[in-house]
Amino acid sequence: TRNTPNLNQPREQWGTRFGFMLAAAGSAVGLGNIWRFPFVVGEGGGAAFVLLYLGFVLLIGLPLIIGEISIGRKGRSNAMDSYKVIQPNSKWYLNGFIGVIVNFMILSFYSVISGWALYYFILALTGNLLANEKNYENAFGGFITDPIMPIVWQALLMSIVVLIVLRGVKKGIEKWNNILMPTLFVLLIILVFKSTSLENAQEGLQFFLQPDFSAINSGVILAALGQAFFSLSLATGMYVTYGSYKRNENSIVGNAGGIVFLDVFVAILAGLIIFPAVFHYGIDPGRGPDLVFITFPYIFTDMPFGTIFAVVFFFFVFVSALTSAISLLEVVVAFVKEKFNLSRKVAAPVTGIVITTVGAFTALSFGPLSHITLFDLTIFGLFDFIAAQVLIPFSGFLLCIFLGWVWKPHEVKLEVEKEGNKFPLFKLWSFLIRYVIPVVLLVIFLDSIGIL
Ligand code: PFF
């Protein structure tokens, strides 16, 4: 029937050993590292926030990624049906469904910000980004408050994403990630050297690296947790979906470790690039979502070969956004395709159009709709908050209970150890998953809604 996963049809698979790893890292590394990380660090008061984030990544992120990949590879289905394969006749699949909703919500606003990145890349490419007057706040403000332009760029970006997802796992997603990901790392490293040699770089580095624990409160803790999850693409069904195309011979633990390393590495590099510059140019680090788009043009204007660096950098932002947007769409498409028995050719554009339409409202919330707020948040802020700080951590909590108490650690171990692979520190993993992570998540939740 329609509702049970089809296990007879051969499932798409990654083409090479590195397919899964690069695609999942491509999903994890994105605007979350380059655009979101710096501004939430800025809002969260700097280095103490960074430490919390790192703690959450290692203590909660890594163990959950291992579990989430295992669910996908065992279930070999979309984010929701994989749960059904593992626990038939239970309601756990609803957690997978939350993931599909989360991806839908994130892509709605993610496509808008990715559209900004695409626009800035084209501006740089055509030589129209840098100017001597350096009025970058106004230039950017004018663009994002425009009632039409941001939507045009969002739609353009989404068309590219749809075209890649249309081509399927091997020829689309994998091929592009293999080309795009390695380029990113090289570019970032060059920029770190540039930025840390700016005058006053010291002050920025201090803000980023020297913790002031008085800045920590329950809001900051929840924000750091949300950032860790968002940045890793954790508990969104991405690892289940991409893991479902994974070959058995690849090490799940090794891949998870690699993904976490790359993700943290890029976020730290982004911080090392942006904060020295923010202090050098006297920009407020807590100014919010436009931080990256304003700071970088300043850096490039004052740099030898700045025009070229601007092109390269915004290409990088655009590309890393693209590989994440691809994963966001793929999770929803894999679901729609299997649920409604549609081909990729139909599912991808239809899903893309619906998401773009909903997303247009988040785009407008920077301009014509900025007066519409709820709990002091704009439509964009609300989408981001609900997805990153409410639904994802909540779904992560359920994921943890599922792994530790329903599917159970020894079953996860069997999946991880297929084809002679190892599960190092399994005992520690099991302890974290069963006792530590659920309690930590619960405490943070209760704390953030003021119960503790
Ligand atoms: N991890 C991505 C980033 O840091 O930009 C964003 C993201 C992608 C979140 C996919 C969630 C997701 F499922």
What would the pLDDT profile of 350-392 be if each residue is shown by its tens digit? 999 999 999 999 999 998 998 898 888 999 999 999 998 889 9
Report how far residue 52's alpha carbon sits from residue 350's, in angstroms, rounded to the nearest whole number.
Answer: 40
Q: Is residue 13 part of a domain?
A: no
Q: What is the CATH number of the domain that holds 280?
A: 1.10.4160
Buried (b) or exposed (e) across 382-392, using 16+ Cβ within 10 A?
A: bbbbbbbbbbb
Among 69, 264, 324, 390, which is best to mutate for testing ligand 1, by the most ligand atoms less than 8 A from CB?
A: 324
Among protein residues, the one whose CA lies closest to atom 11 of ligand 1: 233
Among protein residues, the one whose CA lies closest to atom 7 of ligand 1: 233
Q: How far is the CA of 321 from the centre of ligand 1 (A)?
A: 9
Domain count, the chain: 1
Query: What six digits make up the tokens of 9?
Result: 């049809």
Pocket of ligand 1 (CB under 6 A): 27-28, 30-33, 103, 106, 230-231, 233, 236, 238, 324, 327-328
Is the pLDDT score of 347 beyond 90? Answer: yes
pLDDT at 2: 43
State the Cα angle at 186 between 180 and 190, rounded to 5°.
Answer: 140
Is the pLDDT score of 431 beyond 60? Answer: yes
Q: Is residue 246 part of a domain?
A: yes
Q: Is residue 131 part of a domain?
A: yes
Report how far residue 56's alpha carbon sits from residue 72's, in angstroms, rounded to the nearest whole number.
Answer: 23
Report how far residue 99's alpha carbon sits from residue 97's, in angstroms, rounded to the nearest whole number.
Answer: 5
Q: Is residue 289 part of a domain?
A: yes
The string of pLDDT tens digits covering residues 86-122 is 999 899 999 989 999 999 999 999 999 999 999 999 9
Asked if 229 and 28 touch (Cβ cutoff 8 Å), the reply is no
Q: Closest ligand 1 atom, CA of 327? A: 10
pLDDT at 250: 84
Instruction: Tell me what the pLDDT averaged over the chain comes to.
Output: 88
Which of 32, 111, 31 has the alpha carbon at shortest distance from 360? 111
Q: Is 367 helix (H, G, I), strand (E, B) or coil?
A: coil
Report how far residue 126's alpha carbon sits from residue 312's, in angstroms, rounded to the nearest whole number.
Answer: 12
Is the pLDDT score of 240 beyond 80? Answer: yes
Q: Is residue 11 part of a domain?
A: no
pLDDT at 167: 81
pTM of the predicted model as reported, rounded to 2 decimal places: 0.90
pLDDT at 49: 94
Q: Is residue 407 part of a domain?
A: yes
pLDDT at 1: 38
Q: Is residue 14 part of a domain?
A: no
Which phi and psi (to 5°) does residue 374 adopt?
A: -140, 130
Domain limits at 135?
A: 19-448
The string of pLDDT tens digits covering residues 38-56 is 989 998 889 999 999 999 9
Q: Is residue 10 part of a domain?
A: no
